[in-house]
């Protein structure tokens, strides 16, 4: 299972970089986790948009779904040009069936996941946990049939012991880090760097990636604050740490 960071900003994109989007690849199957603003442009640095099999959406805030609509257009164009016959599959929670139907068009098939059921897409198994956020939002645990390793993506959430239990012993925890230590993240349904580190420690994660980053302050400070809580390796999400292997 390979993970590539496509976008890592919270709220809105940077000049040359996107908001939340992650690409999973194994055995020629390519699945997106979220499809934020700028994701369709960034993805084309690595793969053709016609090569994406599916997208699994955590929630319907714009920084996680802004490019979902244009991805459905790209699939309609790619099918018309004969670049692929396969549909783009989009999965979102069955809490959001109505919003999901907006994306149902030629070339795209929409479907729901249920919080208590495993979703299987090719070699990937997705499990879900409701987060603490102002709208319906789900953290995801992704395992592959080929390896025992697991990636947990918090999506957007305030600190939650339920998420820590869900992430127990994961290989990598991708934790949203929207604020710095001592800032009020919880009332916005987000976490600080310190809380991201604490989440990784309680979960017993092998490694931590700070993502969904703020457009203010010095991100190195986020790292240092998380390091005070968590002893394992910590990455700051960026193009530099673009590709991680979980064999
Ligand atoms: Zn967000
Ligand atoms: Zn959100």
Which DSSP string corresponds to 78-119? HHHTTS--SPEEEEEEGGGHHHHGGG--TTEEEEEE-TTS-E
For the CA of 177, the nearest ligand: 1
How far, in Å, is the centroid of ligand 2 from the Cα of 58? 9
Residue-level pLDDT at 198: 98
**What average pLDDT score do residues 232-238 get?**
95
Classify domain 2-241 at the CATH superfamily level.
Answer: Ribonuclease Z/Hydroxyacylglutathione hydrolase-like (3.60.15.10)
Question: For the residues 45-70, what does the mean pLDDT come to?
Answer: 98
Average pLDDT (111-119) is 98
Confidence of residue 239 (pLDDT cuts 50, 70, 90): confident
Nearest to 89 by CA among 119, 45, 128: 119
pLDDT digits (tens, 9 = 90+) for 160-200: 999 999 999 999 999 999 999 999 999 999 999 999 999 99
Q: What is the pLDDT of residue 243?
A: 73
Ligand nearest to the CA of 36: 1
- The band of 10, judged by pLDDT with boundaries at 50, 70 and 90, is very high
| Ligand 1 centroid, distance to 180 Cα (angstroms) | 16
* Alpha carbons 184 and 10: distance in angstroms, whole number: 16
**Ligand number nearest to the C-alpha of 66:** 1
User: How far is ligand 1, taken at its centre, from the CA of residue 156, in Å?
Assistant: 6
244: pLDDT strictly greater than 90: no
Does the pLDDT at position 240 exceed 90?
Answer: no
Q: Give the ligand at the shortest distance from the Cα of 189.
A: 2
pLDDT of residue 241: 63
Q: Counting ligands in written order, which one lies closest to the CA of residue 11?
A: 1
CA of 36 relative to ligand 2 center, distance in Å: 11
> Above 80 in pLDDT, residue 104?
yes
Confidence check: pLDDT of 31 > 90: yes
Helix (H) or strand (E) holding 73: helix 68-80
The full length of the chain comes to 247
Q: Which ligand is nearest to the CA of 7?
A: 1
Q: Where are the domains of the chain?
A: 2-241
Distance 125 CA to ligand 1 centre (A): 23
pLDDT number for residue 245: 81
Confidence of residue 134 (pLDDT cuts 50, 70, 90): very high
**What residue has token string 């390796």?**
233
Q: Output b/e per residue, 122-158; b: 16+ Cβ within 10 A.
A: bbbebbbbbbbbeebbbbbbbbbeeeebbbbbbbbbb
Q: Find the 157 Cα to ligand 2 centroid distance in Å.
A: 8
Query: Ligand 1 centre and the CA of 137: distance in Å?
Result: 10
User: What pLDDT was estimated at residue 52?
Assistant: 98
Distance 133 CA to ligand 2 centre (A): 7
pLDDT at residue 242 tops 70: no
């Amino acid at each position: 299972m390979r993970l590539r960071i496509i976008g890592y900003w919270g709220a809105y994109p940077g000049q040359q970089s996107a908001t939340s989007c992650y690409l999973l690849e194994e055995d020629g199957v390519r699945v997106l986790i979220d499809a934020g603003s700028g994701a369709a442009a960034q993805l084309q640095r690595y793969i053709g948009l016609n090569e994406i099999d599916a997208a699994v959406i955590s929630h319907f805030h714009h920084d996680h779904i802004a490019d979902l609509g244009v991805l459905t257009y790209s699939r309609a164009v790619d099918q018309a040009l004969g670049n692929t016959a396969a549909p783009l599959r989009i999965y979102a929670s069955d809490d959001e069936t109505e919003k999901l139907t907006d994306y149902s068009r030629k070339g795209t098939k929409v479907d729901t996941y249920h919080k208590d059921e495993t979703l299987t897409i090719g070699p990937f198994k997705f499990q879900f946990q409701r987060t603490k956020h102002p709208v319906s939002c789900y953290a995801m645990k992704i395992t592959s049939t080929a390896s025992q390793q697991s990636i947990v993506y918090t999506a957007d959430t305030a600190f939650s012991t339920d998420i820590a239990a869900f992430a127990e012993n994961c290989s990598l925890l991708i934790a949203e880090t929207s604020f710095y230590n001592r800032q009020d993240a919880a009332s916005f349904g987000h976490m600080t760097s310190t809380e991201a580190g604490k989440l990784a420690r309680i979960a017993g994660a092998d490694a931590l990636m700070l993502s969904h980053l703020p457009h203010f302050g010095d991100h190195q400070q986020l790292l240092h604050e998380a390091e005070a809580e968590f002893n394992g390796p910590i990455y700051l999400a960026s193009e530099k740490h673009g590709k991680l292997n979980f064999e």
